[in-house]
Structure formats: structure tokens, C-alpha cells
């Protein structure tokens, strides 16, 4: 499957058409950005690591009945996936308080939440991805019906119920993560984008070490080593 014209270039990926109008190719870039683009850098090999990690996690979720856009990994930096109309809502799932939850509500960093929190952010860089409630999402027309928002929350919880124990087994706490969804050509809501240390927080269960993009956000260094470690744990014996 060949890349055809560029449809869109985001901060971490480029999206290309293919000869099949139902299929697109994402190219995972080595670029790193944080704080809505205010901090940027690049790390050779980061894109390939995120492609490989996302591939394994999409396969896992597919095998557990979650519909995703994933078709196959084409090479180190390219993934073939279904075309979908992306819903402009970032679905944030949190098990442990940190990041903007801590900043916004003053909950102590590292607090294990009494239940999994699902939040919606408006996917709009110009506005800085503000928080949304259901009425905002409906007024903005980001979805057509309340049922669709309920479905996004339900899917996010189901995905967390699969990923949280999966990572615990591998010695990582799944602290929080961001999901994106879209509608495929039949109107089904499917998981899109990527699942990688760029949009998840992983803390080593024993040491508490951060194994995700916070290493870049907080200037800790060692980002690639951490992403490699996450991939190695995912691949386990087959690495
Ligand atoms: P926070 O709201 O604390 O900044 O982020 C919560 C979780 O969602 C983190 O795992 C973070 O990586 C992810 N996240 C939230 N917004 C974005 C975004 O715009 N881009 C990416 N890559 N991840 C995000």
C-alpha cells in the first residue's frame, strides 16, 4: 500500500491518502511538542517506538472486542488504518491524580482516585484544548446525540479495564491517558489516533520513575530509553 497525497500534518504524525478511499496511512514523526507547541524538540527513533507500541496495543484491544482503526503496521514509521471522521473530543482517562487534574483542582499529586475519572477536552489547539461538559459538546456539535457521549465514556472505561491490569502485569502503573475516537464509513464509533507514551502516563510500580512524555515535558532526559523500556515490557518474551 503506497502513500498518496498528504491530508494533514499534526504535531506527531502525518496523514496520507492511499489508493483505497477507506484506508489512510499515518507516518509517526520523531518530533516532540509540549504545552500546546510552546516547547518542541525531536528524538530520533521516537516515531518508530510509538508506532510499534500503538500497534501492539491496538492488536490487544482488537482481540478484546474494541473496534479500532488499526489495520497493520507497514514499516517502522508507518501504520495503515481505516479512514474515520475524527470526533474533536480528547477523552482523558485518569486512575491517579497528576498533571492538569492536580493543577486545576489541587488534588495531591499521586493520589489514587476513588474511581476512574473520564473527562472530555475540546481538541482545539487555538483554544488550548479546554475542558468540555456534555452540554458544551452538544452545543458545539462535536457529536449529534447524548448517547454518543455516553458511548465515548463507556468505551474509555472498557479500554482502561483492559489496559490497566495489562500494564500492572508489566510493572507499570497506567496513571492516565488520552484517547481519540472517530466515525468509520458505516458511522460506527471506533478508536483512532495512537496509544503510546506520548499520550499515556506510565509510572514504574517499584521505583515510581516516569516512563512517558513527562520526561520531555519536565526536562528529565532519557525519553527514548524509557519508551524502549515500555516497548520491551509490552513485547515481553517475544522481544
Ligand atoms: P493532562 O490533562 O494531565 O495534561 O493530561 C492527561 C493525560 O492525557 C496525559 O497522559 C497526557 O499525555 C494526555 N493528553 C492530554 N492532552 C493531550 C494532548 O493534547 N496531546 C497528547 N499527546 N496527550 C495529551
pLDDT tens, residue by residue, 20-29: 999 999 999 9
201 CB less than 6 Å from ligand 1? yes
Nearest atom (ligand 1) to Cα of 98: 3
The pLDDT assigned to 238 comes to: 62
The pLDDT, as a whole number, for residue 37 is 86
pLDDT, one tens digit per residue, over 27-70 is 999 999 999 889 999 999 999 999 999 999 999 999 999 999 99
The residues of the chain that CATH labels 3.30.200.20 are: 6-82
Task: Give yes or no for residue 90 CB within 6 A of ligand 1.
Answer: yes
In the chain, which stretches have pLDDT less than 50?
Answer: none
pLDDT at 237: 62
Class of domain 85-222: alpha beta
Task: Identify the pLDDT of residue 56.
Answer: 98
- How far away, in angstroms, is 198 Cα from ligand 1 center? 8
Of ligand 1's listed atoms, the one at least distance from the Cα of 198 is 22
pLDDT value for 202: 98
Beta-carbon contacts of 125 under 8 Å, excluding residues fewer than 6 positions away, are: 36, 37
| CATH top class, domain 6-82 | alpha beta
* Other CB atoms within 10 A of residue 123 CB: 18
Q: How many CB atoms lie within 10 A of CB 192?
A: 24
Residues of the chain with CATH 3.30.470.20: 85-222
Amino acid at each position: 500500500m503506497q502513500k498518496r497525497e498528504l491530508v494533514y500534518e499534526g504535531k506527531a504524525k502525518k496523514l496520507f491518502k492511499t489508493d483505497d478511499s477507506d484506508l489512510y496511512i499515518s507516518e509517526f514523526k520523531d518530533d516532540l511538542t509540549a504545552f500546546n507547541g510552546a516547547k518542541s524538540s525531536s528524538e530520533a527513533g521516537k516515531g518508530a517506538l510509538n508506532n510499534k507500541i500503538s500497534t501492539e496495543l491496538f492488536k490487544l484491544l482488537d482481540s478484546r472486542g474494541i473496534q479500532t482503526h488499526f489495520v497493520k503496521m507497514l514499516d517502522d514509521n508507518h501504520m495503515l488504518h481505516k479512514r474515520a471522521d475524527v470526533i474533536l473530543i480528547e477523552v482523558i482517562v485518569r486512575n491517579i491524580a497528576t498533571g492538569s487534574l492536580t493543577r486545576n483542582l489541587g488534588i495531591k499529586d499521586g493520589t489514587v482516585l476513588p474511581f476512574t475519572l473520564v473527562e472530555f477536552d475540546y481538541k482545539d489547539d487555538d483554544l488550548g484544548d479546554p475542558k468540555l461538559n456534555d452540554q458544551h459538546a452538544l452545543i458545539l456539535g462535536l457529536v449529534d446525540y447524548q448517547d454518543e457521549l455516553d458511548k465515548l465514556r463507556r468505551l474509555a472505561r472498557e479500554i482502561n479495564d483492559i489496559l490497566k491490569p495489562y500494564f500492572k502485569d508489566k510493572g507499570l502503573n497506567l496513571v492516565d491517558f488520552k484517547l481519540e475516537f472517530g466515525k468509520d464509513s458505516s458511522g460506527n464509533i471506533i478508536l483512532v489516533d495512537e496509544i503510546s507514551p506520548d499520550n499515556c502516563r506510565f509510572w514504574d510500580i517499584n521505583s515510581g520513575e516516569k516512563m512517558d512524555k513527562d520526561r520531555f515535558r519536565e526536562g528529565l532526559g532519557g525519553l527514548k530509553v524509557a519508551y524502549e523500556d515500555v516497548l520491551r515490557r509490552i513485547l515481553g518474551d517475544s522481544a
